[in-house]
Amino acid sequence: MRLTDAIFTMGAANAVEEMDGEDPAAGGKKQQGRWKPSDERQRHGGDEADPREGHEELRMHQQIDQEPGSHGSRLPSEASLDRAGCTMQSVMMSLIARRLIQLPFIVLAVYTITFVLAWLIPGNPLDNPDGRRPPPEVVEAMKKQYNLDDPFSFYFSYLGDASGISWLMGNAQEPFDLGPSLKQPDLSVNEILWTGMPVSVELGFSAILLATLIGLGSGIVGGLRPNSVSDLCTQSVALVGISLPSFVVGTFLLIVFGAWLKWFPIADWGRPIDLVLPALTLSLPFAAYISRLVRFGMLEQMSTDHIRTARAKGLGDRTIAMRHALKNAFLPVLSYLGPAAAIALTGSFVVEKVFSVPGIGQHFVEGVLSKDLTLIMGVVLVYSTLLVLFNLAVDVLYSWVDPRIKMS
């Protein structure tokens, strides 16, 4: 062992002398087996470098690279993550504030357009349901009471009552007063909304939930098996659902499943079974559009690199679709659900009329036919506000589901 150690020590010493002999990268010269700075460096007044300084500098760089917050660190520090989270929260708060600032201007524009269209509806809102007009002195008194003698007076007075400005100025007894119904003097528009809104909300959200389930199922089937028999069937049904209006589909379902087969009741409300046909009728157009969005999204995702990598690892199509492809394919659906929820509430007017659902839609249709200005304006104001709030909620949820998306 001693002879082996001596040979190893001599070899190491020779290797060190060869390494110290010349350093081409540093531009030095070989002088008596030791490397020294060149004459050019000595002419410029440079001192001979201490080897220990290089080792100290190397150790300093290694320590800096190992610090969690340094530029050389591969993992982000907690401070950088906190800054990113604060930036995301500030962007989200600025988006919410900007949308809330835009809300009154959007509602004001909708209110103005609705007022012009409602005022131009033929007929007199003070006529009796049978078409007879009250005595002239009664008509004049009612016109002064409801500001119907001047369109500008009605426009600004109703806007002040509905927005709460009149209540703040002490000219109204309650805030956000939508006024009395011209055709139902015993009821105010607020009371009609409070009684009919829960029914319309229940019908609308049931339709959206049913549309999401039907659209996701058919879209996934079409995306995993394009141009198959099941895909062609679902796309054909989706095309029919988009093309046919709701009152045609509702009448067909009412005749087939209500009158002929007697599976569901007709013109009844109060039980869960009474919700099936109206919700199905209202959900078909949304389900058809969601199915097409999911199908196109799945086809696009299934051809990406990470999906091909997952297939190469041996994952099945069902696992790939549920864990990897569906999340990204669902993002366009999520952006569509915001306005779809508001449309489901406002678009239920015809469906409520066909199935005799006691919601806001039935009152609104009767108000349009009888030119009930206060009822028309109140319903439009409430639904336009809900539409803006739904879109805001979807934008916030969209950024929460996929943080890579920068809201601007």
Q: Give residue limits of the domains in the chain.
A: 195-371
H or E segment at 72? none
Q: In the block, which residue shows the tokens 């349901």?
A: 129
Q: Just give the CATH number of 195-371.
A: 1.10.3720.10
The answer to whether the pTM exceeds 0.85 is no
- In angstroms, the Cα distances linking 125 to 35, 111, 131, 181, 375 are 107, 19, 10, 10, 11
Q: How far apart are CA 157 and CA 161, in angstroms?
A: 6
Amino acid 205 reads F
> pLDDT by residue for the chain (408 residues), tens digit each?
444 444 444 444 454 444 444 444 444 444 444 444 444 444 444 444 444 444 454 454 444 444 444 444 444 555 554 555 566 667 677 777 888 888 889 889 999 999 999 888 887 777 766 666 777 777 788 788 888 888 888 899 888 888 888 888 877 777 788 888 888 878 888 888 888 888 888 898 899 999 999 988 888 888 778 888 888 888 888 888 788 888 888 889 989 998 898 888 887 787 888 889 999 999 988 998 898 888 888 888 777 777 778 778 777 777 777 777 777 777 788 778 877 887 787 667 888 888 888 888 888 888 888 888 899 999 888 888 888 888 777 777 766 666 555 544
* CB 390, CB 342: distance < 8 Å: yes
Please, what is the Cα angle at 72 between 68 and 78, to 5 degrees?
25
